Amino acid sequence: MKTLIILLFTVMFASALVAQNASERGLEIAQKAEEADLGFGSSTVELKMTLKNKNGQVSERSLFTKTLELIEDGDKSLIIFNSPRDVKGTSTLTYTHKVGADDQWLYLPSIKRVKRISSNNKSGPFVGSEFAYEDLSSPEIEKYTYRFLEENGDLLLVEQDPVDPKSGYTRRIVSYNKNLGYRIEQIEFYDRKNALLKTLTYSDYKLYKEKFWRASTMRMVNHQTNKETILNFNNYNFEANLTDDDFSQVALQRAGK
């Protein structure tokens, strides 16, 4: 009897330890990935977004993105729309926060005004694409809880559960490549009813400044609607040396012109 109890406790302790280890290891991997990307400072990139429905009909948008790395808080980003024609010059400025809702402003050239959007909603589709805004914003460690799942060759699979109750997902499973700077190879998104919703695949990686891996292609497939969106990144520039001034409301207005 005694041995049984001891055994039982050992098992419970062990499983608790494993659980502890799994979440610690998951967090550790996410942190390593963040560290690997630390110090890029700022970057700009051209982005072409191709939306496909299941019949293969295609719609395109083109954007220009500037990003500024911040250490204490989340990154700042500026997105400028070049097409479709009707929204050319429309720009968004986002301050990502590690905790709480992000700040977001939008410049509308048609009325030449900056509007601040106060919304907790980051889970909706980004300009009709299969990407949610939350899929595109900078991946801050604090936004998820982690659980290491398995090691599969070079890949480390980590389950990440969003902290935000308004997230569209219950969890996502991220595959990190441990030998290539912990770059992300694939993410699977599970919706609120825990069914596989989308798969995002990163490809055509390039190494910039011998440190920073950037995928030239990101392909998001929605398994429930059979729609997909492909992002093509061109002309990554890590030498723009952007500063806070490039991410102000004034800069936002200027960017759209």
Which residues contact another protein (rule: CB under 8 A)?
A: 51, 53-55, 57, 59, 81, 84-87, 90, 92, 104, 106, 108-111, 113-128, 132-133, 166-168, 191-195, 224-225, 227
**Which CB, 15 or 120, lies closer to another protein?**
120
**Which CB, 27 or 255, lies closer to another protein?**
255
CA dihedral 97, 103, 106, 112 (to 10 degrees): -130
Considering the complex, what minimum distance in angstroms separates the CB of residue 188 from another protein? 16
**Which CB, 64 or 205, lies closer to another protein?**
64
- 3-state SS, residue 147: strand
The CA radius of gyration of the chain, in Å to the nearest whole number, is 20
Considering the complex, what minimum distance in angstroms separates the CB of residue 44 from another protein? 21
Considering the complex, what minimum distance in angstroms separates the CB of residue 254 from another protein? 17
| Alpha-carbon gap, residue 67 to 48, rounded angstroms | 17
Instruction: Look up residue 178 and give its DSSP letter.
Output: T
Considering the complex, what minimum distance in angstroms separates the CB of residue 189 from another protein? 10
**Which CB, 37 or 75, lies closer to another protein?**
75
Considering the complex, what minimum distance in angstroms separates the CB of residue 253 from another protein? 12
Q: Which residues pair with 166 in a beta bridge?
A: none
**Which CB, 14 or 195, lies closer to another protein?**
195
Q: How many CB atoms lie within 10 A of CB 88?
A: 13
| Alpha-carbon gap, residue 237 to 45, rounded angstroms | 6
| Alpha-carbon gap, residue 145 to 23, rounded angstroms | 8
